Amino acid sequence: MASILKFFLPKDRVFYTLFESASGNLEKIARKLVMVVNEPDYNKRAVIIKEMEDLEHQNDLLTHTIFLELGKNFITPFDREDIHSLATALDDIADYIYAAGKKINFYKIDPTVDSGIQKTADAIEQAVLAVNQAVIELRNLKNTQKIVECVIKINSIENSADDLFDLSIEKLFDSDVDAKELIKKREIYQVMETVTDKCEDAGNVIESIVVKYA
Amino acid sequence: MASILKFFLPKDRVFYTLFESASGNLEKIARKLVMVVNEPDYNKRAVIIKEMEDLEHQNDLLTHTIFLELGKNFITPFDREDIHSLATALDDIADYIYAAGKKINFYKIDPTVDSGIQKTADAIEQAVLAVNQAVIELRNLKNTQKIVECVIKINSIENSADDLFDLSIEKLFDSDVDAKELIKKREIYQVMETVTDKCEDAGNVIESIVVKYA
Amino acid sequence: MASILKFFLPKDRVFYTLFESASGNLEKIARKLVMVVNEPDYNKRAVIIKEMEDLEHQNDLLTHTIFLELGKNFITPFDREDIHSLATALDDIADYIYAAGKKINFYKIDPTVDSGIQKTADAIEQAVLAVNQAVIELRNLKNTQKIVECVIKINSIENSADDLFDLSIEKLFDSDVDAKELIKKREIYQVMETVTDKCEDAGNVIESIVVKYA
């Protein structure tokens, strides 16, 4: 059924489908990150992180496909450079979520005893859900209200993640953790907080597209 | 008087007024940050930081109003995406100045004994003055010389802030401060240095507008 | 000979020449950084770092010249804001490579005993070579295949630099280095890793130009 519909779709609709695949994939990677931070066993975490790597590769392929389609299509639903910016922004989110998972095992951190890491993972999942929702709404550029709500939500989550970062660092300082452990954990907090920055960047790109075409 | 004038102004002039309100507001927040770093009392600092938060919220509202105006106006003084980029860049500056103030009390740092923090706050105020000047000059896009001078000044201040960052870290290393204190202070230096990066970003957006329309 | 050719060149060709000077200069600065990290003597390093500063100033002048030419030329080989973005991106790379060299002596790090620093310097040189190649290929925007290969190479080097960063930090943790030394070295790793981020940014700008005009 979907394929029959596709047959009749204007060719430039392929970009919406590709963007939705990429942002839908982000939801999957973010969910895996939440699993990672709730899994006390190093080896079981390693299995999930491997799955995150596979999903991240899928996003690389989707980004590549979007660029190939740009080369083949003269007509695009919005400016070519905006398509490029959005694809890059979504790809960045995938990169940093995977990096967060990878660093947790690399630095041999137990995430299950750190509520800051767990809350930030939840915030990342929420931010990615809002990004995905905004991407889906791009098909209806005239209904900007919903997109604007998504962008406001992403920005609000990014603010919370900033506060979680400060709280987590402060909590570490009040504990008797040594400086090396502190630096490792700061590294994890930092990369996780950067995920929400990258979601905000994607939100900005989407908002910029709305501003231009709506 | 102002409202009478506004009645006769071309509608797209509203953007200049909104941008000037936002960049003028940045001056106020930056001045509050200078007050914070010169105030030895934690509770008195807390009062000023609360005022910074209010000013930061005002900038959020101004940014929101700019986006609403974009939705209502077909004619804009420069490209819609440039208006979006500039509004976002000014908003980022406000966010990071407020974050710098907030982190000082959050990490319970005494800024009055740290000349690096004080000099960087002064640098931030200078950078913000140059940003505001450049925004004001946007009304006369044909007189690019003054805007270019502002942008050069912003970039030069950003370079100085980088050096201040390195000097401050080095000074900490030569002191007998413990590693945790060092990490806290580095966090403050970092966010303050990022303010000047964000001023440079705003300068780049303005320069890019000049390059396009002048 | 070159000057005779130039006489007959369309005026907008001046931008290609300026960009190639800037990206060619990046190769020189990157090579100096490789020399710095292989030089055990502080004072000899200081001499090379001074040469890096001179090269960085040359890039500042080239960037300034590009902006001046934008003011003088009505016809440009691609959009004025893309020329601005590319010039800014190349300038950022020069700034961060120089900052990496400067910080090594500033923090009195011996880079010759740190294979992470040495490998990252090599990665930076490779990334800059790919940036330069991509800039050269801009003259033939219809032959996008080579540019795309360069951009893929830059992104792949940036990924390796991320891994080198994590490995270097992990190695430090396993050593008996004290926390202050650790923080200094992290600062060096960080700024070096940022160089490859800035190369990726330049690659993104170039890719975005290709997507628009090819």
C-alpha distances in Å from residue A11, one per residue of A59, A77, B31: 21, 10, 54
Decide if A180 and C173 are in contact by the 8 Å CB cutoff.
yes
Residues of chain A with pLDDT under 70: 1-11, 214
Question: Across the interface, do C211 and A187 touch by the CB < 8 Å criterion?
Answer: no
Q: How far is CA A48 from CA A51, A98, C170, in A?
A: 5, 10, 22
| CATH superfamily label, A11-213 | Phosphate transport system protein phou homolog 2; domain 2 (1.20.58.220)
User: Sorting pLDDT into bands at 50, 70 and 90, what band is C173?
Assistant: confident
The count of CB pairs under 8 A between chains B and C is: 42
Residue with tokens 């011996």: C110
C57-101 per-position pLDDT tens digit:
999 999 989 988 887 777 888 888 899 999 999 999 999 999 999
pLDDT for res C201:
93
Return the domain boundaries, chain B: 11-213
Helix and strand numbers, DSSP H then E, in chain C: 7, 0
At which residue do the structure tokens 């792949």 appear? C156
In the structure encoding, which two tokens stand for residue B135, read together? Answer: 């925004």
Banded model confidence at residue C8, pLDDT cuts 50, 70, 90: very low
Query: Are A214 and B71 inside 8 Å of each other by CB?
Result: yes
Residue C11's pLDDT is what? 64
Residue A5: per-residue pLDDT: 44
Question: Distance of CA A208 to CAs A99, A114, A205, B174, Å?
Answer: 27, 37, 5, 47
Distance CA B21, CA C94 (A): 35
Q: Are B55 and B25 in contact (CB under 8 A)?
A: yes
Q: Which amino acid is at C195?
A: V
Distance CA(B99)–CA(B28), nearest Å, equals 15
ipTM for this prediction = 0.78
The CA-to-CA distance between both ends of chain B, in Å, stands at 31
* Residue contact B211–C106, C-beta within 8 A: no
pLDDT in tens, B174-196: 888 887 888 889 999 999 999 99
Q: Which of residues 53-82 of C touch B (CB under 8 A)?
A: 67, 70-71, 80-81
Q: In the predicted model, is pLDDT for residue B73 greater than 80? A: no
Residue B68 has pLDDT above 90, yes or no: no
Least CB–CB distance from C211: residue in A84, A178, A179: A84
The letter for the amino acid at B59 is N
CB-CB contact of A96 with A198 (8 Å): yes
Q: Does the CB of B84 have a partner CB in chain A at under 8 Å?
A: yes
Q: Residue A97 to residues A52, B174, C186: CA-CA distances in angstroms?
A: 8, 37, 21
Length of chain C, in residues: 214
CB-closest option in C71, C99, C184 to B214? C71
What is the rounded CA–CA span in Å between residue C205 and residue A81?
9
CB-nearest to A179 from C179, C207, C214 is C179
Question: Which amino acid type is present at position B120?
Answer: T
What's residue A13's pLDDT? 85
Burial class (CB in 10 A: 0-12, 13-18, 19+), C9: exposed
Q: Which residues of B158-184 are buried (b: 16+ CB within 10 A; e: fewer)?
A: bebbbebbbebbbebeeeeeebbebbb
Do A81 and C166 count as a contact with CB atoms less than 8 A apart?
no
Identify which of A80, A102, A107 has the shortest CB distance to residue C212.
Answer: A80
Q: What is the pLDDT of residue B143?
A: 77
